[in-house]
Amino acid sequence: MIRSNNPGIDAAALEKRIEVELRQPEQPPAPWPSSSLSTGGAPILPAQGAGLKNLKLRLRGVPVLGKLLMELNRWQRRRRVVGRALSTPYLGYVLRWLKSLALIHESRGRMELTVRELSLTEQRLRTEIALSNLHLAELRERMEASRRELEFSEQRLNTAIELNLQHLSALRAEIAEEKKRSAANRSEIIFQQRRLTEVLESPARQASVAPGQENAASVVQGDELDSYYAAFEASFRGAREEIRARLSVYLDRVMACRGDLPVLDIGCGRGEWIELLGEQGITAYGVDLNSVFVADAQQRGLDARKAEAISHLRSLTDASLSGVTGFHIIEHLQIQDLVMVIDEANRVLTSGGFLLLETPNPENLLVGASSFWNDPTHRAPLPSSVMRFMLEQRGFPDPEVIYLHPADEKMKLRETGETSERLNQLLYGPMDYAIWARKA
């Protein structure tokens, strides 16, 4: 090490000098000065020094302890040699410098080893980080693929839902159309059944009819008119479910003043209203002159009776009903018959009973001038102010007008201003109204 790190020093001469120093016999310690005192103040005698030397010689003869003492003496001698060398002005400096170089070399080795270990650790960490990054990238790719798959599945699901909704709408339209056809077919079947019955019974009836009386042909003509009006109702008023939806707006009012007595619906038609009342637990029945309507309602299990409205009202006792209703019936009556219906309803209603009448609204000019006359059995339109006055005059206090069924918003004028608003009200206002009154 000395040669490699210090080429300017004669290493061989230095090592030879150290060996010579080590081979020299151990000098006995110098005698204590006469002025030196021991612990007790007495000087150390020569005999005592000779005794210590003899003791050392004896101890060296002990097998194990002797070797230890010899090694200890060598270590002490080397320490003294090194101490003397280090105390030498130039040689000590060189030795200390060589020792520092040796320590530096050893420290540099340890540092290089530490650096290599740190480098290996860094490489291992970099490898682990790279693997982790690869794993994260793989996870990101999987997540992105899953997200794309979810988006695709969502799109397919939305498309399927949209197609199903379209299919459902088409099915609903088909069902509604089928219901209309079924209603028309049912009316036609009832008409054909009654016509066949009349044809089969006509020979016996003709044999029993006295001269001058009405023949069977007039009865058949009446049935044909009933069938015509049933088909007319199905075409112009709408299907049963549509009529039920329109009439359901009155249920809250009726439920608020229901009683134990029944409700009578005059001109009950196909029985949509009495069916709604029955579903709410209200006893109700209807009368109508149309045999096709009555038979249709009876087949549905409804209490429908073929009777004329005024005659039936006259047959009832006072205060025997909790309500009297009539939907699109009063426009078919002459004025004297309408007054009679109102008077008889007032008589048969119990105290607090209600009268509900619905009719086309002639304040809508398109209704009053056009659609009202689609039904050839209509006599004249009845403005709401006329009906309110008539009910008040016949004993019903504070009748209320309820406007119903506004025209489609798409038909209204889109311009803004007073003129457009007025025209929209006159042309596209409520197409029907109802008059609601209660007996005092």
What is residue 403's three-state secondary structure? strand
Per-residue pLDDT, 242: 85
Tokens 């794309």 correspond to 148
The closest alpha carbon to 257, from 332, 116, 352, belongs to 352
CA distance 323 to 284: 9
CA distance 5 to 100: 11
Architecture in CATH of 239-438: 3-Layer(aba) Sandwich (3.40)
Per-residue pLDDT, 74: 75
The closest alpha carbon to 6, from 93, 113, 83, belongs to 93
Structure tokens at 16: 């030879």
What is residue 74's three-state secondary structure? helix
Tell me if 270 sits within 8 A of 330, measured CB to CB.
no
Per-residue pLDDT, 435: 97
Mean pLDDT for back-to-back runs of 10 residues, the chain (440 residues): 55 65 54 45 52 67 69 74 67 68 74 88 92 92 91 90 86 78 59 49 47 41 51 58 90 91 94 94 94 90 94 96 95 93 96 95 83 80 94 94 83 74 78 94
**Cα end-to-end distance, the chain, whole Å:** 133
**Rg, C-alpha atoms of the chain:** 63
Per-residue pLDDT, 137: 92
Assessment of whether the complete model's pTM goes beyond 0.95: no
Tell me if 43 sits within 8 A of 34, measured CB to CB.
yes
